[in-house]
Amino acid sequence: MTMKKHSGFTLVELLMTLVIAAIILTIGFPGLRTLIQRNRITTVNNELVSVLHVARSEAIRQNASACVCPSDDVTQAVPVCSGAAAWEVGVIAFLDINGNCVLEAGAPPDVLLKVWNGSDYVGQMTVRNDNASINATNTIVFNSRGEPQINGVSQQGVFSISDDRGLLADANGKSTTASAVILGVSGQVRTSRLASLITYTAP
């Protein structure tokens, strides 16, 4: 009766495998991190655009004012505006029946339209606006025509979405590390990667 030979890895083969794996991880990890960061920027960009779109369209549809503001307690039954300039903490949009930009159960009650819980990104990225009128109250008000105005003053402006990599741009002047959400005078919202539009603010 012949004994079966069991083949396995030698210590040298195992060490060589580990060395090759380490080299592959070293080469691939920076690229993976960049991809994750780019996806985070895109996610925040899309969420902010969605919140603004919903608020504007409902203001027009309901012939009422709609308010958008940063909120750090979006999981509450009645979230409140944070009053801070940090929009990355989270954002709420609601129909604002009495025009005070406070979500309340009046008669008739305000209506919560959409929430975005941005708390996962606090400390990793910033979302800031360059409009003095927006920053004075840290709110955006859409009137019944869908225009962003507060006390008759236009709130058109640019949200800069940035992380800790700094504002880097390619040869075409487009940012590879940040994004801009542009709120127009008529309330239209668009996205841009042009570095010239982005005000970098580090987390």
Residue of 175, 168, 146, 174 lying closest to 68 (CA atoms): 146
Confidence band for 3, pLDDT divided at 50, 70 and 90: low
pLDDT (0 to 100) of residue 5: 58
The encoded tokens of residue 131 equal 């409009």
Mean pLDDT of 33-39: 84
Model confidence at 6: pLDDT above 60: no
Residue of 49, 51, 55, 59 lying closest to 192 (CA atoms): 49
Say how far residue 30 (Cα) sits from the centre of its chain: 23
Residues 39-82 have pLDDT tens digits of 899 999 999 999 999 999 999 999 999 999 999 988 888 899 99
